[in-house]
Chain A
Amino acid sequence: MILLLVAAGAAVGAPARFLTDLVVAHYAGRFLPWGTLVVNVFGSGLAVFLAVAVTDADWTALLVTGFCGALTTYSTLSYETLLLVENGRWRHALWNVAANLAGGLAAGLLGFALAHLLTA
C-alpha cells in the first residue's frame, strides 16, 4: 500500500516539475536555472508544511515522500550548477547553490510556521 502511494504521488510530482520548468523557462529564459529553483523552494515549503500538519502515514507517503519528493530534485540542481561551472560562470554556480539552499530553508521555515499556526 505504502509503495503504491509513493509511486502515485511521484507520478504526479515528476511531470509537475517537468511542466513547471518549461513554463518558468518560457518567461524567465534559460540563462539561469530558475525552473529548478522554483520547484525546489516551493516543494520544500510544502513538504515541511505537510510533514507537520499531516500525521497519517499513508497521506505522508503520498504527499511528502511521493509528490514533494519527486517534485523537487537534487540531480538536476547538481547538473545545472556544473554546467555553469563548465562555462566559467563560478559566481552564477555559487548563486544557484546558495539560492536553492537559502530559498528551500526559508520556505521550510514558512511552512513550519504556517502548519503550527493552522494546527494550533
Chain B
Amino acid sequence: MPDTSQPPHREPERRPPLRHALRSASVPALAAVAVGGAIGALARYGLTVAFPASPGTFPLATFTANTLGGLLIGVLMITVTEVAPGLGRIRPFVGVGILGGFTTFSTYILDIGRAANAGATALAVVYAFATMAAALLAAALGMFATRRLLVRRRA
C-alpha cells in the first residue's frame, strides 16, 4: 500500500536570505556588543589580578567570573523578558557584551587542561564540575529571585 498520508508534493523548505537574519546586527548593536565585551573582559582580567592563578590550585578568578556572570544573566534575562520588556534594547550591551565578555568558556577549558597537565587530575575534574554546577545554580537563583522580587502577580 502506498503511503497516502503525505501530501503529493511538499513545498520545498524556503529559507530567507542570510541578510534578514543579520538585520539585528546593526552597527549600533555591534558597537554596543564590542564596548560591552571590552568592559566585561577588563573586569574578568581584574579578577585574575586579584586572584592570581598558581599551578595546581583552584582557578578562583575564572570560577568567580563564570558564577557571578551566571547570576547576573539570570537577573538580566528575567528583567528584560518578564519585568520590563521595554528594556530589551539593553540586552546586546549588557547581556551579549558585558556578561558575555566577563564570562569565558575558553579560559575554563584552559584551566582544566593546565590542572590536568600539571598532574592535578582530581582538581581538573572537581573544577570542571564545580564551575558547571555553580554557574547553573547561580543563573537559576538569579532567575528565581528576580521573578520573586520584581515580577508583579497578575490579578
Contact = CB atoms under 8 A, between A and B. Distances in A.
A79 to B, nearest CB: 5
Contacts of B59: none
Contacts of B69: 74-75, 78
Contacts of B128: 101
B1 interface: no
Contacts of A46: 106
A32 interface: no
B149 interface: no
B57 interface: no
A77 B105 contact: yes
A43 B95 CA distance: 19
A78 B39 CA distance: 20
B22 A22 contact: yes
A73 B66 CA distance: 8
Interface in A58-111: 61, 64-66, 68-79, 81-82, 97, 100-101, 104-105, 107-108
Interface string B73-117: 110010000000000000010011101111111111110110000
Contacts of A12: 34
B73 A69 contact: no
B33 A71 contact: no
Contacts of B92: 18
Contact of B34 (A11, A43, A107): A11
A74 B104 contact: yes
Contacts of B34: 11-12, 14-15
A74 B70 contact: yes
Interface string B133-145: 0011011100100
Contacts of B50: none
Given A70-B37, A74-B108, A78-B138, A13 B21 contact: no
Interface of B: 15, 18, 21-22, 24-25, 29-30, 33-42, 44-45, 48, 65-66, 69-70, 72-74, 77, 92, 95-97, 99-110, 112-113, 128, 131-132, 135-136, 138-140, 143
Given A13-B41, A69-B106, 19 more contacts: A7-B42, A8-B38, A9-B41, A10-B41, A14-B96, A15-B37, A40-B106, A44-B109, A70-B101, A71-B106, A73-B105, A74-B65, A75-B70, A76-B96, A79-B139, A100-B105, A104-B108, A108-B109, A108-B113
14 contacts: A7-B39, A10-B42, A11-B38, A22-B25, A39-B105, A47-B110, A68-B104, A69-B101, A74-B69, A75-B69, A75-B102, A79-B74, A104-B109, A108-B110
